[in-house]
Amino acid sequence: MTWCRWAATVICLAVVVTAQIQWPVPPVPDQLAFHGISDDRFSQLRRQARQFVEARPRQGFEFVGQRQDAAFQIYCRGVPVLWLERRSHYLLLQISLDARQRATDIVRLRALLQWQIEPLDYLEQVLAGVPKPVLMDRMLRVLAGEVPDGVRCGTR
């Protein structure tokens, strides 16, 4: 009887691993919180992100606006790699953990956007309830490994 349970466990684990290989889930994003900004300022950041995508027409990037000008995302070949979202008390800027491997240019765009907005300090983030990366996120970054050439965007 124990042999059957052991075999069933091995088969279940094999199915889970195979499913994850076939349909990879985008890595958990790295998050940074910033002070809230005006509608005009947010529109300017949104415009810069759109121009970033439009300047790279054949590199696999896609700009997706969301929620009545309160958020936008940039995708790399169908996988979200950067998002900026206005929340009630702060602005949240995120990039995926594999952005450096998947879309190197996104890291530069994030730096450009970050340079223009003021970050919240640690206490302000705690008081605002900003979700913070956890140890598991950092482990996923280490385990994520290399991104295949066919799913990368931009220059390397």
Q: What is the pLDDT of residue 126?
A: 81
Residue type, 18: T
Q: Report the number of distinct structural domains present in the chain.
A: 1
92 - beta bridge partners? 33, 85
Residue 4 within a domain = no
Residue 101 within a domain = yes
- Residue 4: which H helix or E strand, with range? helix 2-22
pLDDT tens-digit readout, 30-53: 568 899 999 999 999 999 999 999
What percent of the chain has a predicted confidence (pLDDT) above 70? 69
CA atoms within 13 A on the CB side of 85: 14
Residue in 9, 128, 32, 144 with CA at minimum distance from that of residue 85: 32
Q: What is the pLDDT of residue 88?
A: 84
Residue 15 within a domain = no
Residue 7 within a domain = no
Q: Are 56 and 104 in contact (CB under 8 A)?
A: no
Residue 51 within a domain = yes
Residue 81 within a domain = yes
Q: How confident is the model at residue 16 (pLDDT cuts 50, 70, 90)?
A: low
CA distances from 2 to 6, 10, 11, 14 (A): 6, 12, 14, 18
Q: Are 30 and 137 in contact (CB under 8 A)?
A: yes
Query: Which is more confident, 65 or 1?
Result: 65
Token pair belonging to 11:
């088969």
- Containing domain of residue 105, as a range? 28-151
Q: What is the pLDDT of residue 15?
A: 59
Query: Which is more confident, 22 or 154?
Result: 154
Residue 42 within a domain = yes
CA distances from 81 to 30, 31, 50, 99, 107 (A): 10, 12, 14, 6, 9
Q: What is the pLDDT of residue 40?
A: 92
Residue 22 within a domain = no
